[in-house]
Each structure stands twice: as C-alpha cells, then as structure tokens.
Structure 1
Amino acid sequence: MRFTRSACTLIASAAVVLGAAAAGAQEHTLRIQTHHSAESTVGEAAAQFFDDVETMSGGRIVFEPFYSSSVVKSVETFDAVLNGILDADLTAGSYQTGKDTAFQFVGDPMGGYDTPWQLYAFVYVGGGLEEARELYASFGMHLVGFHIAASESLASTRPLAGVADLQGFKFRSPPGMETMIFAKLGASPIVMDFTEVFTALEAGLIEGADMANLDVNRSAGLHDVAKHATYPGFHSTPANHFAIRQDVWDAMSEDLQRIVEVGHQKFAFRLTLTGSVATEEAARQLEAEGVTLHDWSVEDRAAYRKAALASWDEFADSDAARELVQMHKDFIEVIGLAGAE
C-alpha cells in the first residue's frame, strides 16, 4: 500500500502525539493524607476517587494515600502539605481555625443548614466555593472542594426532644464555637477526646455526646448506653475538604485539573448518598433496639439556629470569617430556612 505525502505526515504527527502521551504517564504523584481509615465509608469512597482520577487521567496522576493520619496528626496535615512532606490534604478545614476563624465557616457552619445538600447548594450555587478558595489561596493551598458524609446526631442518656431539654444537659463537645452555641441554650458542654466518651457515658460523668453521625455513633457503641438521639441531625454538618498545595496544582495541565475537580465532585456526592442510606439503616436498627430518635420541630430548629447565628458573629474575628458569615446568612434567607432572620 502506498501513502501520499500528506498521509505520511499525518501518521508521523499521530505517532509523535502518542509518544508524548506515553511519555507523559505518571506526570504527577500526589502524596495525600486522610484521617479516615481505609476500611471506613469515607476511606473506601476516597479509594474509588483515587482510582477514578488515575483512570481518567490515563495514569498521568497517581495517588499515594496515607490513611488514619499515619504520617502526621490530623490537625497537622495542612502544614505538612505546605512544608512539602505531603502534597494534598483530605481532612477538615475546621482543624485550621487557629490560622483564621474563617475555616470554621467552610468546615462546619454549625446550625446553618438542615441537610448536606443545602450546604452543597451554598458551596456550588451561593458563591461559597469561590470565597473559600480565596481563603485557602492566602495560605498557599488550592481548595478543590468539600465532601460531606452526613449531618451529625447528638447521643443522649435522656430525652432530647427539643431546645427545652438542653437545660443542664452535660455532654461531650468539640472545642470552639459549639460550646458557645449550646451554652446559650442552657447546656453544659464539656470538651473531651473521642476516646474518653464511652467511659464517661457509662460512669454518668456526661449525659450525652456530639461525636459523629448516627451510623458512626451506632458503630462506636454509644447507643449501648445512650438510648436517645437527635435524628435527622441538624446541629452540625461537617464538610471535609480536599486541598492541594498551590504549586502542585499550578503544575497540572488544565485537563488534569478538570479531571481532579470532576472526580472529587463525584466522590463527594456519592459519599453523601451513601451516608444518607447508612444513617437511615442505622435509624431503623436503633429503633428496633429500643433507642428513641427525636426529630426536632421547625420551631426548635429555628431556636437552635438563632443561637448558632449569634455565636457565628461572636466567633468570627477576621474579615474573611465575617464575609463568609454574611454570605451564609444571605443564602439561608434565599433558601427559606426557618430562623434565618
């Protein structure tokens, strides 16, 4: 078979392109740490995310994951990325409130939203992602996006049917803004490590705990002791982040950046769907085991949100934090959530 000169040129050009593509394999190896275990719901979803990106990029991006904070402590992941020990952070923005309280309002705007999808709407429709990216960029990081497993539930040894039941309620709380919110409503939040919660519940030192979502709380055995829970959760909807050091991100071609963004968004939304099913299954199992689930009324949720928004104003002590607070408040009004006044 004889080829024309133009056909030969085309074949040669194609060979060059294919050769360049082959040479471009494994252009980027990203060392990434997450605080979740490989066997957890988030860990398994993350592994699928890594595989998706590696496949869609034709092997030009390869992940080297470190689960269960095996390189540095969870709260140190962000700085480990900045210092070049790691390349990417799959933990939580709220760990970085010591740098800027604005991270609280990208990591967990407590009391702002009733469902993960409402928070996603703020991120992707209400301008939240763009504002958060400016915050991350100021610290030398590129924020790819957020992912949410499920809203959290309070576990309790006594009924928590509404705001009135929070009076004198002694419970495990994370440090920071949450203690401010619940103190306003008459509760007695006690800051303690996760590892101390079960023993403290058994000994009666606390009456409940804010630990995680209903499925995780059940798996941890909290409801062997605590026979009450708030569900569906509403008081806290933590959004974990995926952030990459800015120079690593800038070194990627535009097509690879888009692959990472789309792959992460699939991971995020699938994780939330999985979390929704898992918490519903946990709810049915717990009810069958005699645990009472308390779905707060619109009025009680509004009272909690009012206390939360007042605490937002007190907690926000930077321009970035105050800007995010105002954006959240404006968006809450747009979507018509009770207590947004």
Structure 2
Amino acid sequence: MKSDNHTADRQGARRPRRSFLKAAALSAAALCAAGTFSSAQAAKTQTWKVQSVWDAGTVGYSLFEEWAKSMEEKTGGELIIKPFPAKSVAADNNALFDAVRNGVLQGMNPFTLYWSGKIPASVFLSSYPAGPDQPHQWDTMFYAMGMLEKTREIYKKLGLFYVGPIHHDANIIHSKKPVNSLDDLKGMKIRLPGGMVAEVFQKFGVSTVSLPGSDIFPALEKGTIDAADYVGPAVNWELGFGQVTNNILFGPPGVMSIYQPVDLMDLTVNLRAWNNLSPRVQKIVEQEVRNYSQQHFLTIQKRNIEALEKFKESGSQISRLSQEDVEKFRQAALPVWFKWANKDKDARAIFDIHLKYMMNDLVGYLSPEDVKGLE
C-alpha cells in the first residue's frame, strides 16, 4: 500500500511538471509567433519624408501637415508621412526635384509648373496664360480624358510617380503702383514663374524675375522688383505682402487671374517608394490626394475672402483688367502655347488633350480660326 501510494505520489508529481513544461513551450511558441508578427508588421510600414513648397506658418502648409499626419491612421499604420515645409530639407526647387529622384526625400508637394525647364509638358499640367480657367475643367482632363495616365508615363521615365493634382488657387499680382491695363505693365520688373507665363508677360514689356515664395517679401521691401505674382490673398496676406505693396491686380469680374487661374500643385513621389506600397495602400493614397485637393481648395477660398478684406482695410486698392485685355492676352499667348507644345512629344501629347477640350463646343474657348496657321 505504501509502495502504491508512493508510486501514485510520484506520478501525481510528474503530471504538474509535465503540464508546466508543456504550457511553457506553448507560451514560448506564442511569444515567438507574436515577435514574428510584429516584425512582419514593422517591415510593412513605410515612412515617407515629404517636403512642401509652402512656407511654415501659412494656411497652405498647415493644411498639408494635417493631411500628411492623418495618413498613418488611414492606411492602418502601413504608411507614415513626415511633412516638411519649404527649404527645410532641400534648399530650393531644383534641389527638391533631385532629392525626390535620389530618394533623399520620398515625396514632394510642389507647384507643378516649377518643372517647366526639366519637364516641358509640365506647363500644360497646371494653368497657363488664357488656357482652361475653371477647376472642374482640369479635373475633367485629368480624370476623364486620360491626362493623369499620360502624366504618369512622363514622370515614370524620370523615376517619379505623379500621384495626382491638388487644387489650391488662382495667382494674383501685388504691385507698388496701380495697374489698370496690360499697357501699364510695360517697363515693370515682376516676379513671375518661368516658362510660358514669363514669355507671355515679356511680350507686354515686362522684365521677369523668378523667385521662390519666401524671397518675394524682401525683394518687394527692398524695391528690387516692382510687383510680384504669387498665390491668392490668404497666403499672400500671411507672407506680409500688404506691408510692402498697396495694389492688387485681378482679371475681369469673376476671374481672379487671366494668366494662372487654376495654378495646380501635386503630390509626386519617388517611384521606388511608390512601388514599395501595397496595392491597397496605393489606392488609399490616390483617393486621399483627391479628397485633400478638394479640402485644400475650399479652405483656401474661404480664407481668401477673409484676407482680401484685410488687404483692403490696410489700404490695398483692387484693379481689374478688361475683357479687351483678356482678348489681347490670349492673342499673345496662342503662339507661345504651340511653341511649348513643340518642345517634345510628351508636351505635344498633353497639349493635344487641352486643344481637343477647348475646341469642343461644350467649352468653346477656341475655334479653328483661332489656331489657323499654328502647328
């Protein structure tokens, strides 16, 4: 009996020990699996550094920063976007372009027109003198007429992926003296973007200068330029233009600008960084850029209304060009359109989409007579 009890005791003692070892083994396996899962999740997470051309402290950058930081949650942690304001990583526009191509930055939020010297077709990826002047017209060309796909083909050759256009505003001119007609521009030194815009203004006797947004205020303050084009009232007020100018030039009633009425920004990323995203996250990013475009545009329009009142209260006078000026401007612009379209086959392909759209009777901006003799 004693022997039986002793055997039973030994067996009973062994059972808990075996159970403990089994449980420990299962726990270790679970921990191992958890560690593997965490590593897999970490490996999936992509972190992008994306620099905007908006200066810190402006409504444009605040909106971009908020959008960028929202992407981690929207992608379930698969994509983290770290936003940077103008000049914080890349010191100027050329450096910004190269930094994204080389992978120093994974993306940029620029004004598309900045790349006219590198990508001639980019003059037709944002509004140009006397071209399509309503935001929905650009959305139609990008998302319904194949312009987005063609743009991506062009950018892919440079190791970049063009995610999509971002609406922000029209561009307006702030000047030290009143400008009431195109004739008043003669002899003025004006900050303007390069490319087609500068060429058309030069036809009216303007000396053009290219400066980044952050350099405009000191140039106006010192008098090294007489006037400056930049974005709309909201951002321009924040940049202090009302302190160094007292005149603002618009187009005819209902038209803020005849030379850049729909000045588009975009989100462009390094092609390798884009390809590292899962198809699911790629679709989320594309849709969120479209959502952001609308939010960005509407928020800035609201701020424009408020800011324009501040400009007027501070003494700024509003001038408007006439419809006659618009016609003169378009006649000056037409041959410049075709000159840029003939820069290369990509520029021509994009311009063909524009031409088809503007000559359609639904739009009616151009007739065969308008472009007669231009090829």
TM-score, structure 2 normalization: 0.76
Distance apart, 1:84 and its partner CA: 2.2
* Equivalent of 1:47 in 43, 65, 83: 65
Question: Take 2:324 and 2:274, find their aligned partners in 1: how far apart are those partners?
Answer: 45
| Per-residue deviation, 1:190 | 4.1
Instruction: Indicate whether 1:271 and 2:296 are aligned.
Output: yes
What letter corresponds to residue 359 of structure 2 in structure 1? E
2:253 corresponds to 1:260:
no
Amino acid aligned to 1:265: R
User: After alignment, is 235-244 or 331-340 more displaced?
Assistant: 331-340
With 260-269 and 193-202 compared, the bigger mean Cα shift is at 193-202
Q: Partners in 1 of 2:161 and 2:214 — Cα distance?
A: 33
Q: Specify the SS of the correspondent of 2:133.
A: coil
State whether residues 115 and 234 of structure 1, in contact with CA within 8 Å, keep that contact through their aligned partners in structure 2.
no
CA deviation vs aligned residue, 1:267-314 (integer Å, no higher than 9, x gap): 111111111112222222223333222343444323323322321222
Query: Aligned pair 1:318/2:339, yes or no?
Result: no
RMSD: 2.9
Q: Is residue 2:317 matched to residue 1:301? A: no
* Secondary structure class of the residue paired with 2:165: strand
Instruction: Say which of 313, 317, 332 aligns to 2:358.
Output: 332
Runs of 4+ in 1 over 6 A off after TM superposition: 19-22
The secondary structure found in structure 2 opposite 1:46 is helix
User: Matches of 1:333 and 1:170 in 2, distance apart?
Assistant: 35
Verify: 1:151 aligned to 2:176, yes or no.
Answer: no
Tell me, in whole angstroms, the C-alpha distance in 2 between the residues paired with 1:202 and 1:38. Answer: 20
Mapped to 1, the partners of 2:357 and 2:274 lie a distance apart of: 30
Q: Which residue is 2:48 aligned to?
A: 30
Q: Distance in 1 between matches of 2:267 and 2:90?
A: 17
Deviations 1:303-341 (A, max 9, x none): 323322321222341111122223223223345365673
Q: Could you tell me which of 170, 174, 180 is aligned with 2:193?
A: 174
The yes-or-no answer on 1:245 pairing with 2:292 is: no
Matched residues in 1 for 2:217 and 2:272: separation?
43
Deviation at 1:194, TM superposition (A): 5.3
2:128 touches 2:197 (CA, 8 Å); kept in 1? no
Q: Which moved more, 1:196-205 or 1:253-262?
A: 196-205
2:184 pairs with 1:160: no
Q: Which runs of 5+ in 2 are unaligned?
A: 1-32, 251-255, 371-375
2:206 to 175, 187, 191: 187
Which blocks of at least 5 consecutive residues in structure 1 are unaligned?
1-15
- TM-aligned CA deviation for residue 246 of structure 1: 1.9
What is the CA–CA distance in structure 2 between the aligned matches of 1:331 and 1:34, rounded to whole Å? 31
- The structure 1 residue matched to 2:257, chosen from 225, 228, 233, is 233
Q: Please say if residues 302 and 339 of structure 1, whose CA atoms lie closer than 8 Å, have aligned partners that are also in contact.
A: no
**Which residue in the other structure is 2:124 paired with?**
105
Mapped partners of 2:54, 2:243: distance in 1 = 23
Percent of paired sites with the same residue: 27
Inter-CA distance 107–79: structure 2 relative to 1 (3 Å threshold): farther
Work out whether residues 54 and 60 of structure 1, in 8 Å CA contact, stay in contact via their aligned partners in 2. yes
Q: For residues 92-114 of structure 1, what are the alpha-carbon distances to aligned partners after superposition, in whole Å with 9 as ceiling and x for unaligned?
A: 33333332311222245343233
For residues 301 and 158 of structure 1, the distance between their equivalents in structure 2, rounded to whole angstroms, comes to: 21
For residues 337 and 285 of structure 1, the distance between their equivalents in structure 2, rounded to whole angstroms, comes to 37
How far 1:143 moved relative to its partner? Answer: 0.9
Aligned counterpart for 1:65 among listed residues 69, 83, 88:
83
Corresponding residue of 2:20:
none
Q: Secondary structure at the match of 1:257?
A: helix
Give the 3 Å change call, closer, same or farther, for CA 48–204 of structure 1 in structure 2: closer
Distance across 2 between alignment mates of 1:71 and 1:294: 38
Alpha-carbon distance in structure 2 between the residues aligned to 1:246 and 1:196: 31
My pick for the range that moved more, 91-100 or 188-197, is 188-197
Kindly indicate whether the alpha-carbon contact (under 8 Å) linking 2:59 and 2:235 is maintained by their aligned counterparts in 1. Answer: no
Residue 45 of structure 1 and its aligned partner are, at CA, apart by 1.6
Specify whether residues 300 and 338 from structure 1 end up closer, same or farther in structure 2 by C-alpha distance, changes over 3 A only: farther
Is the 8 Å Cα contact of residues 174 and 228 (structure 2) preserved in structure 1? Answer: yes
Q: Distance in 2 between matches of 1:32 and 1:84?
A: 11
Change (3 A) 1:337 1:205: farther
Cα pair 2:197 2:259 within 8 Å, conserved? no
- Rounded to whole Å, the distance in 2 between the matches of 1:50 and 1:134 is 25
C-alpha separation between the residues in 1 aligned to 2:352 and 2:219? 38
Distance 2:293 2:182 in 1: 32
